[in-house]
């Protein structure tokens, strides 16, 4: 198997290649002066299985086009099996028609990945695993909550509570709590679809003097986790940590989290940044080994 690093995930691809282990196939990439993307697989892939690793964090549309182009190039050059490794799958949250006239963008993206030539998809904590049912190819939704829980456990949190900022994240919180040997709980949240404003209902969490880990799949504006953090602080929590699979952290979300009293943010390398404290490379390598 060859690892083909997409421009968005060069470091993660190198980690996966080392752990598998597998050789890395060089890729050239650039933007044309008009903004169009260029990629080139600069190695031999004929007759090989390839794993194209390309996360689709912002700029999502450019990263998606690069993914489609690499899949298409690999198949044109004779790769016998192409695995699309898309650690953060953009548009996954538009997984239904919330309002009449809207597209189901998650479905369209998955169909495009398949049409571009993917024979299999590997992703990490996709917003809702059920949305992957639109694929006709095999898929794997890897969960990084155990890896994050192991990291957080080493920080020796004080009588930790793992808190989901909404009901949808409760399963993630439970998985992380299991690894940390901690309790879990959740809050009720509603989002106004027009304004994007998030409302969270306060309830007694019993967090006085305890450390809280607020966990979500994605942090975008930071509204969901900052509402939860404010509730924890009001109720006397000691430290408030935030952990998420995909730290998009749009606009001024870091400041919002700071103002809400968040002490630290832990992310993964699905989106490379100074917050990527946990790597998903072992989890991806483990799935890829099934295809070697």
Q: Which of 19, 75, 80, 189 is catalytic?
A: 189
Q: Out of 8, 16, 219, 257, which residue is the one contacting ligand R5P (CB under 6 A)?
A: 219
287 vs 166: CA distance, rounded Å = 29
93 in Cβ contact with 220 (< 8 Å): no
| 221 is a contact residue toward ligand R5P (CB under 6 A) | yes
Give the single-character DSSP code of 276: E
Contacts with 67 (C-beta within 8 Å, 6 or more apart), sequence order:
6, 52, 54, 56, 84, 86, 113, 116
| 224 is a contact residue toward ligand R5P (CB under 6 A) | yes
- Residue closer to ligand R5P, measured from CB, 220 or 281: 220
Q: Enumerate the β-bridge partners of residue 191.
A: 198
Q: Out of 149, 160, 222, 267, which residue is the one contacting ligand R5P (CB under 6 A)?
A: 222
Could you identify the residue written with the tokens 């060859």? 2
- Residue closer to ligand R5P, measured from CB, 37 or 220: 220
- Residue closer to ligand R5P, measured from CB, 146 or 168: 168
- x-or-dash string of contact with ligand R5P, 179-198, rule CB under 6 A: -------------------x
Binding-residue total with ligand R5P (CB under 6 A): 14
Rounded-to-5 percentages of helix, strand, coil across the chain? 35, 25, 40
| Helix or strand (DSSP H, E) at 2 | strand 2-5
3 vs 22: CA distance, rounded Å = 7
- x-or-dash string of contact with ligand R5P, 199-218, rule CB under 6 A: -----------------xxx
Q: Please state the closest distance from residue 166 (CB atom) to ligand R5P, in A.
A: 6
Q: Out of 223, 240, 268, 281, which residue is the one contacting ligand R5P (CB under 6 A)?
A: 223
- Taking contact as CB under 6 A, which single stretch among the options 70-78, 98-106, 165-173, 283-291 is the one that binds ligand R5P? 165-173
- Residue closer to ligand R5P, measured from CB, 131 or 224: 224
| 95 is a contact residue toward ligand R5P (CB under 6 A) | no
Contacts with 216 (C-beta within 8 Å, 6 or more apart), sequence order:
164, 165, 166, 169, 172, 224, 225, 242, 244
Give the single-character DSSP code of 24: B
Q: Is 49 annotated as catalytic?
A: no
Residues that bind ligand R5P (CB under 6 A): 93, 166, 168-169, 198, 216-224
């Amino acid at each position: 198997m060859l690892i083909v690093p997409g421009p968005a995930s060069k470091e993660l691809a190198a980690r996966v290649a080392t752990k598998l282990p597998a050789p890395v196939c060089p890729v050239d990439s650039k933007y044309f002066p008009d903004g169009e993307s260029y990629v080139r697989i600069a190695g031999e892939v004929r007759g090989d299985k390839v794993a194209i690793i390309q996360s689709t964090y912002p700029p999502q549309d450019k990263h998606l086009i690069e993914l489609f182009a690499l899949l298409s190039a690999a198949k044109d050059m004779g790769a016998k099996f192409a695995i699309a490794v898309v650690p953060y799958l953009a548009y996954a949250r538009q997984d239904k028609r919330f309002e009449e006239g809207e597209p189901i963008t998650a479905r369209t993206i998955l169909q495009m990945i398949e049409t571009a030539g993917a024979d299999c998809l590997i992703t990490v904590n996709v917003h809702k695993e059920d949305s992957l049912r639109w694929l006709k190819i095999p898929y794997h939704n890897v969960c990084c909550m155990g890896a994050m829980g192991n990291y957080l456990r080493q920080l020796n949190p004080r009588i930790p509570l793992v808190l989901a900022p909404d009901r949808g994240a409760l399963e993630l919180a439970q998985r992380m709590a299991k690894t940390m040997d901690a309790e879990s709980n959740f809050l009720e949240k509603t989002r106004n679809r027009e304004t994007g404003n998030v409302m969270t209902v306060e309830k007694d969490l019993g967090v006085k003097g305890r450390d809280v880990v607020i966990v979500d799949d994605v942090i975008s504006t930071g509204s969901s986790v900052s509402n939860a953090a404010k509730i924890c602080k009001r109720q006397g929590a000691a430290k408030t940590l935030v952990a998420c699979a995909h730290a998009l952290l749009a606009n001024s979300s870091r400041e919002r989290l700071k103002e809400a009293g968040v002490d630290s943010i832990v992310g993964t390398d699905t989106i490379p940044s100074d917050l990527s404290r946990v790597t998903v490379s072992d989890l991806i390598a483990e799935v890829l080994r099934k295809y070697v």
